[in-house]
Structure 1
Amino acid sequence: MSTHARIEDLVLRGEEAVRLAEKRAADRQHPRGKLTVRERVDRFADPGSFTQIDAFTRPGGDGDRPYGDGLVAGHATVDGRPVCLYAQDFAVHGGTLGEASARTAQKVVDLAVKIGCPVIGINDGGGARIQEGVAALAGYAGLARRHAAASGVVPQISLMLGPCAGGAVYTPALTDFTVVVRDTSYMVVTGPDVVRAATGVDATLDDLGGAETNATVSGNAHHLADDEDDALDWVRTLLGFLPANNREPAPEYADDTAPGVTDADRLLRAVIPDAENAAYDVTDIVSRVVDDGDLLPVHSGFARNMLCAFGRVAGRTVGVVANQPAHGAGVLDIDASEKAARFVRFCDAFGIPILTFADVPGYLPGVEQERGGIIRRGAKLVYAYSEATVPMVTVVLRKAYGGGYAVMGSKHLGADVNLAWPTARIAVIGAEGAAQVLHRRELAGLAPAARAERERELTTALRRTHGTPYAAAELGYVDAVIDPAETRVAVTRALRLLRGKSVGVPSRKHGNIPL
């Protein structure tokens, strides 16, 4: 047989082996409503762009030694931009990680850091491979170390597309964003049987670590997808907002911002209700400020009293942080503080400007919050804003009381441009609370009916002067009090100005700690 014929024969045999492996994987995955590992890679990456590495890696031992060791890994492009990725194959050893596949995953993360591109892990496996013992554990530990070293250097994203446990959830927890799929994704440290044996508590897998639980209760997941295609599409969209690494800017789009106040801008005057405590959706404001109303919420199901999202202003990516009065009056609690703190730190690590919208009654009081550590955990948000060096613009919409004012992108924590609407209130407490404190002696001597009437009179009088944005502007804490209709124009102007902000870009500013 000629050399040409031998090569052709080997290629055909290799292709046949891949085809048979894919058929076995499809027979196992499709009945569960899941894609095969290669279908996932093909749907995620640009057509024809994926280049596999370590396809012939095999585990040691005398038993089943599949090529690739249950991991498909390599590099590709997404919307023409390079990415590195690795994907677990649940059809091979249940997607567990062994010594050989761990080396490949580690190699992918190392490659991403070397070339400066995002790294994506597609997880669908049961953790460390039991039969390989400590070697498998060492593989996960080595991968975790690389994720920690890459934090703040390149964006890291994890898709959880099946049942994942043990090390299969701890390493994704070190990455910047985690995506789960409704009904098929599970993230648990231990399953129901172990929990029952150790604690005597009966809990279902959904209770412990179902997709809904991780996305709305524990906050382990940043996006809850309806199916795998939705998960892959969300990550592709996310990548469009992000820079390739911490030394490069995010993708820039055409700046077709309308130069003056438009009819759509004037609608902002009517968004906030007249009643000080009435709820409204802050996205109705944010969507009129960012380009084309295009927002990508992050952690949308968790700590819903805080909105964190990516958008663009004048064609460039911004990270939006906003109190959400539609949920819990936009109050700051433990979950909201930690959610926003980690988002701010990510934006700062990757040079993304931070646009803050404040409408906050303060920190949530109560025994549960105090015992849960609201002091130390709420301080994370103070720390995140304080250390940030990217351009920061803040708009106070309605109220900013107490510690909530200070922490939500105030001038004192380093914000560059601070704006406020004329109806905003910036104070230690609201007018009603101030009336009760400042006039408590007078009020204490009145009968209940007279006291209530006098409180209303004092509150009405205080609202005319107490905590107006003009008092903060006199002190320079607010740079301008603006017509709500001018918000988009003013924010755009400020962010354009701050493009020249000089902060220096170290080789690594800081990592992005787990939430």
Structure 2
Amino acid sequence: MSAAPATTGTEDTLQHRVDTLREIRRTTLEGDLEATRRQHDKGKLTVRERIALLLDKGSFTEVEGLRRHRATGFGMEARRPSGDGVVTGWGTVEGRTVFVYAHDFRVFGGALGEAHAAKIHKLMDLAEAAGAPLVSLNDGAGARIQEGVTALAGYGGIFRRNTRASGVVPQISVMLGPCAGGAAYSPALTDFVFMVRDTSQMFITGPDVVKAVTGEEITQNGLGGADVHATVSGVAHGVYDSEEECLEDVRHLLSLLPSNNRELAPVEVSGDPAERPNDRLLDLVPLEPGRVYDMHAVIEEIADDGVHFEVHPGWAPNLVCTLARLDGHVVGFVANNPAVSAGVLDIEASEKGARFVQFCDAFNIPLVTLVDVPGFLPGVDQEHHGIIRRGAKLLYAYCNATVPRISLVLRKAYGGAYIVMDSRSIGADLALAWPANEIAVMGAEGAANVVFRREINAADDPEAVRARRIAEYREQLMHPYYAAERGLVDDVVDPRETRSVLIRSLHMLRAKHADLPARKHGNPPQ
């Protein structure tokens, strides 16, 4: 709706102008009723319904709600709605300030033009200045074609601000509709991306372009749907069946994060005793290094009330990355999961872990690493796709992290993977182990076959010699106290005391201060 012109004469009073303002706001809030029906028919909420679910009731304050585009060509002059297809403002989540911008698909399909982008730029600058998280609710058709290069420049301004705010305030992208072309790069620059099944898609080039160029036929969901990005590409950190479920989890995540990089995550009073024994761990983790178990159960036994918020649960599930509380304080758990591929480190797990470690370090969240790793995944495919440089990302992230860091070897820790999983040698503040730990270059069987290969091959009974040498190697170099005797493990702890030991250790490290060498920035492996 266009703003009504001021009247003249006796009608031109302040009250009249207030009434006019209220009418503009009413029609803007109501929107096009037919467009609203179409949005609901697609199973999607409207922009203000989404904001109401995300923020505390009645807390939203809108910014630049009256802004309109100034494009005059290609029929644009006939439609100049207030707001220009994006709602921007701030509110609270559990009483803490959060900034939000949300595309309104009912207006120009949520496409971004000059005024639309300017509103987002303004909000992003406010979020950075105020030191508060930024959440984007994405449901737009990309750049507004009728506005040409000014729309593209608008995206450039968003990308630059995403990058500048990276590691300064948490940035969360919620995909609630299409996001195609260059628009997809803004979510990719943020800390977390969440998607809703069937209604949200992300891709650089759509199915029609893919078919024209490569001849491949694929649907939008098959190319860039929620499940694809949650399990194959790793773009999405979480996927949900409904917008309501998704936005509720975004609220939960925000409750675990500090407002900015100068603060600590909010602390909650915990009713779960810090000294609660973990007797169940004795049964959860088998002694035999080759037997599987689910690391999620271990984390749930250790964490306050068994609650944790996992990111990327469907991508690289051989490594678990999750946020939880210990005695009310937020920590980031990084853990090998023997239930999936024996907990091996591969390309995807390394990249997943590196990104999570960097995020926790940027926002002052201590790291607890639970180690049960047989090594890096061998194979031609892994080597040709860069396991060296991509595995080095996780190593770099840990070495660069200055937050409190505790590693705990539950069972096996072999080879380079032991080093990379935050070992003492790369800077863990405390390195702990259970009595079941086996820390070595490789498993006893493999080591014996290498070290004693000639003796075994020359023996009359090779299997007997092999068995004897395996036992000797395990007894001399892989017993639970070998690393502790050499100062590479600070203590061997009773599994039943895991929770209390971690809490006491993190309490001791809470005031940790560490400086990196003076530099503009590092050059991490890409």
Matched, 1:462 2:477: no
Matched, 1:471 2:482: yes
Q: Which moved more, 1:1-10 or 1:132-141?
A: 1-10
Whole-Å separation in 2 of the counterparts to 1:513 and 1:185: 32
Contact 1:22-1:36 within 8 A present in 2 as well: no
Look up the match of 2:454: 441
Q: 1:119 to 1:164 in 2, by over 3 A?
A: same
Look up the match of 2:27: 17
Whole-Å separation in 2 of the counterparts to 1:97 and 1:456: 69
Q: What is the DSSP-based 3-state SS (H/G/I as helix, E as strand, rest coil) of the residue aligned with 2:428?
A: coil
Whole-Å separation in 1 of the counterparts to 2:268 and 2:288: 39
CA apart distance, 1:412: 1.0
- Which sections of structure 2, spanning at least 5 residues, go unmatched? 1-10
CA apart distance, 1:147: 0.4
Look up the match of 2:58: 48
Contact 1:355-1:394 within 8 A present in 2 as well: yes
Whole-Å separation in 1 of the counterparts to 2:458 and 2:517: 63
Report 1:145-224 matches (<5 A).
145-224=160-239
Q: 1:455 to 1:213 in 2, by over 3 A?
A: same
- CA displacement, residues 6-51 of structure 1 (integer Å, 9 cap, x when unaligned): 1453144224412541534421211100000110011111111101
Look up the match of 1:227: 242
Matched, 1:484 2:495: yes
Deviating beyond 3 angstroms after TM superposition, the runs of 4 or more aligned structure 1 residues are 504-515
Report 1:260-275 matches (<5 A).
260=275, 262=277, 265-275=278-288
Matched, 1:90 2:105: yes
Count residues in correspondence.
511
Q: 1:421 to 1:20 in 2, by over 3 A?
A: closer
CA apart distance, 1:257: 4.8
- CA displacement, residues 275-323 of structure 1 (integer Å, 9 cap, x when unaligned): 3211110111111111111100011111000000000112111011000
Q: 1:245 to 1:512 in 2, by over 3 A?
A: farther
Q: What is the DSSP-based 3-state SS (H/G/I as helix, E as strand, rest coil) of the residue aligned with 1:221?
A: coil
Report 1:322-401 matches (<5 A).
322-401=335-414
Whole-Å separation in 2 of the counterparts to 1:117 and 1:257: 29
CA apart distance, 1:117: 0.2
- CA displacement, residues 246-271 of structure 1 (integer Å, 9 cap, x when unaligned): 00111011154525453xx1111111
Q: Structure 1 counterpart of 2:469, which letter?
A: L
Q: Which moved more, 1:14-23 or 1:469-478?
A: 14-23
- Partner residue of 1:32 out of 42, 61, 68: 42
Contact 1:273-1:280 within 8 A present in 2 as well: yes
Q: Structure 1 counterpart of 2:209, which letter?
A: V
Q: Structure 1 counterpart of 2:348, which letter?
A: D
Report 1:63-74 matches (<5 A).
63=76, 64-74=79-89
Whole-Å separation in 2 of the counterparts to 1:162 and 1:223: 15
Q: 1:152 to 1:19 in 2, by over 3 A?
A: closer
Contact 2:273-2:327 within 8 A present in 1 as well: no
Whole-Å separation in 1 of the counterparts to 2:62 and 2:291: 55
Q: What is the DSSP-based 3-state SS (H/G/I as helix, E as strand, rest coil) of the residue aligned with 1:187?
A: strand
Look up the match of 2:511: 500
Contact 1:86-1:121 within 8 A present in 2 as well: yes
Q: Structure 2 counterpart of 1:14, which letter?
A: I
Matched, 1:140 2:185: no
Higher RCO structure, 1 or 2 (CA under 8 Å, sep 6+):
1
Report 1:399-410 matches (<5 A).
399-410=412-423
TM-score (normalizing by structure 2): 0.93
Contact 2:133-2:171 within 8 A present in 1 as well: yes
Look up the match of 2:316: 303
Q: Structure 2 counterpart of 1:51, which letter?
A: T
Q: What is the DSSP-based 3-state SS (H/G/I as helix, E as strand, rest coil) of the residue aligned with 2:135?
A: strand
Q: 1:164 to 1:222 in 2, by over 3 A?
A: same
Q: What is the DSSP-based 3-state SS (H/G/I as helix, E as strand, rest coil) of the residue aligned with 1:85?
A: strand
- Which sections of structure 1, spanning at least 5 residues, go unmatched? none
- Partner residue of 1:123 out of 127, 138, 147: 138
CA apart distance, 1:168: 2.1
CA apart distance, 1:217: 0.3
Q: Which moved more, 1:60-69 or 1:298-307?
A: 60-69
Q: Which moved more, 1:502-511 or 1:304-313?
A: 502-511
Whole-Å separation in 2 of the counterparts to 1:385 and 1:11: 54
Q: 1:168 to 1:24 in 2, by over 3 A?
A: farther
Q: What is the DSSP-based 3-state SS (H/G/I as helix, E as strand, rest coil) of the residue aligned with 1:194?
A: helix
Report 1:418-429 matches (<5 A).
418-429=431-442
Whole-Å separation in 1 of the counterparts to 2:94 and 2:172: 16
Whole-Å separation in 2 of the counterparts to 1:513 and 1:197: 37
- Partner residue of 1:287 out of 289, 300, 304: 300
Q: Which moved more, 1:413-422 or 1:461-470?
A: 461-470
Q: Percent identity?
A: 52
Contact 1:443-1:455 within 8 A present in 2 as well: yes
- CA displacement, residues 28-82 of structure 1 (integer Å, 9 cap, x when unaligned): 2111000001100111111111011111111122322221110000111111000
Whole-Å separation in 1 of the counterparts to 2:525 and 2:464: 51
Whole-Å separation in 2 of the counterparts to 1:51 and 1:502: 38
Whole-Å separation in 2 of the counterparts to 1:49 and 1:258: 35
Q: Structure 1 counterpart of 2:56, which letter?
A: D
Q: 1:2 to 1:195 in 2, by over 3 A?
A: closer
TM-score (normalizing by structure 1): 0.95
